[in-house]
Every structure is written in structure tokens, then in C-alpha cells.
């Protein structure tokens, strides 16, 4: 670890590990790993209310508070946990509904939940502009398991992300800031559901977090990552 002349850290999480182990902070560049979200941001801004209402009517969504899961459906994402938490949220908020977007080996769990609960909608994988329309029906982005670059999708669409301290996360989890653009709870269904019920019941706080999400989306971009990498190279060579 200490033999490198310079470190290019994915996120602040990597930087903290390096500094904790004695590497000098002035020889670390945090690049803030990102993917290109420019298209998602453009889609999010251009989608009209009428399109959202049409999709809502097509799905027959009647709830006024909607949770969104969007991502691959595999064990580390904790889909069973998500369903259990959603049921507890529904008990506390009768107008709560859940949309699950994605595909993978645990798709059967989502399919079964949608068959048993008329307020859960499993819509399969969606991409591009269509994915953004589905996401914009939501008020919160729910990923109780592993969070990676998907957090950038949530930020781009303005959805506060809620996850758990499940010890599975990728370095990009450092972009999540409690009470600012989302929340990380204890790794229990009760704690997770309770926090989401609390936030969905606090419209002022939720609106503030949505605004912060959009602001943060402008920070974590491919362009900014490239600028940081180039700056770090120049600093290393000098």
C-alpha cells in the first residue's frame, strides 16, 4: 500500500482506508468514480407531468407515496428484505406502493410479491428514457442491500436513497449522506421501514433531500472524474 507514489482513490471511502493505514493524504487524489448520467439528467428534466399520469393510470397506481427499486435482482440486493420492509411501510402508510424495476435470479421473489400484493408492481427491466419515467413516479429509492453506481441514477432523478448498514456496499456508498440525500439505517427490517415511514411523512424534509440529490448529481459526473484524474496525474509528476 505504501510503496505507491500516488493513489487514485475511487471515493472518500478509499481515501479514509489509506490515511488510516498511514499513507499521506497529500499524495491521494479522490476521483469520485462515476458513469455518464448526462442523458438521465436530460430525460428527468424533459419528462412532462402528463407522461407520468399516463403511466400511473396504466399501472393503476392509486397511492400518493411510492417507493422505487431499480437494479439487478440478485441476493446481495436483499429483495426479500425489501418486500418485508415494504409490507411494514404499508402497515404504517396505507397509501404506500412499491415499483420494482430490474431482472435477475431473484426476479421470482418480485413476481410472487406482485401477485400477492396488488400495491406492488414488478415491471421487469427498463432502460433509458422509459426507466426514468418509471423512476419519476417514486418519492424514495429503496435499495436495502448492496449499493454501487446505482446511487448516481437516484441522484440524477432526484430520489433520496434509503439503504442499510449491510456491509455489502461498493465504494460509491460514500456519496450517501444521512438526512441530506438519503439515509442508511441499521440492518433490520424494523429500522429500515421505520425511517422510510418517518421520511415519507415529512414532506419538507423529503423535498429538501430531493433538491440535494439533484445538486449532488452535478458533482458526481464523468467530466468531473476526468478532471480530478488529470489533476492528480499532474500533481504526481510534479
Averaged pLDDT, 82-102: 98
Averaged pLDDT, 114-119: 97
Indicate the length of the chain as a whole number.
Answer: 238
Q: 38-48: per-residue pLDDT in tens?
A: 999 999 999 99
161 within 8 A of 154, measured Cβ to Cβ: yes
pTM: 0.94
CATH code for the part of the protein at 38-217: 3.40.50.2000
Q: 123-133: per-residue pLDDT in tens?
A: 999 999 999 99
Phi, psi of 98 (to 5 degrees): -130, 130
So what's the pLDDT on residue 124?
Answer: 98
Q: Select from 45, 8, 48, 49 the least CA-distant residue to 30.
A: 8
So what's the pLDDT on residue 116?
Answer: 97
Q: 185-223: per-residue pLDDT in tens?
A: 999 999 999 999 999 999 999 999 999 999 999 999 999
Domain locations in the chain?
7-34+221-237, 38-217
Strands (E), 33-188: 65-70, 96-101, 120-124, 140-142, 161-164, 182-185
- Inter-axis angle of helices 189-200 and 79-92, nearest 10: 50
Radius of gyration (C-alpha) of the chain in whole angstroms: 19
Long-range Cβ contact pairs of 45-52 (< 8 A, separation 24 or more): 47/129, 47/132, 47/133, 47/136, 51/133, 52/133, 52/136, 52/137
216 within 8 A of 175, measured Cβ to Cβ: yes
Alpha-carbon gap, residue 98 to 89, rounded angstroms: 10
Amino acid at each position: 500500500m505504501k510503496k505507491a507514489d500516488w493513489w487514485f482513490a475511487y471515493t472518500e471511502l478509499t481515501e479514509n482506508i489509506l490515511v488510516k493505514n498511514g499513507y499521506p493524504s497529500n499524495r491521494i487524489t479522490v476521483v469520485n468514480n462515476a458513469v455518464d448520467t448526462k442523458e438521465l439528467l436530460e430525460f428527468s428534466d424533459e419528462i412532462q407531468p402528463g407522461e407520468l399520469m399516463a403511466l400511473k393510470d396504466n399501472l393503476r397506481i392509486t397511492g400518493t407515496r411510492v417507493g422505487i427499486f431499480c437494479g439487478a435482482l440478485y441476493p446481495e440486493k436483499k429483495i426479500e428484505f425489501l418486500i418485508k420492509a415494504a409490507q411494514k411501510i404499508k402497515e404504517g402508510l396505507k397509501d404506500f406502493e412499491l415499483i420494482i424495476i430490474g431482472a435477475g435470479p431473484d426476479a421470482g421473489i418480485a413476481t410472487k410479491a406482485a401477485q400477492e400484493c396488488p400495491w406492488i408492481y414488478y415491471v421487469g427491466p427498463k432502460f433509458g428514457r422509459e426507466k426514468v419515467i418509471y423512476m419519476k413516479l417514486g418519492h424514495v429509492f429503496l435499495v436495502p442491500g448492496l449499493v454501487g453506481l446505482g446511487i448516481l441514477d437516484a441522484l440524477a432523478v432526484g430520489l433520496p436513497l434509503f439503504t442499510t448498514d449491510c456491509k455489502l456496499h461498493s465504494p460509491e456508498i460514500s456519496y450517501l449522506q444521512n438526512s441530506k440525500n438519503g439515509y442508511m439505517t441499521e440492518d433490520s427490517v424494523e429500522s429500515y421501514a421505520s425511517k422510510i415511514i418517518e421520511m415519507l411523512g415529512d414532506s419538507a424534509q423529503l423535498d429538501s433531500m430531493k433538491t440535494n440529490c439533484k445538486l449532488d448529481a452535478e458533482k458526481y459526473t464523468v467530466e468531473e472524474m476526468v478532471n480530478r484524474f488529470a489533476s492528480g496525474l499532474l500533481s504526481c509528476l510534479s
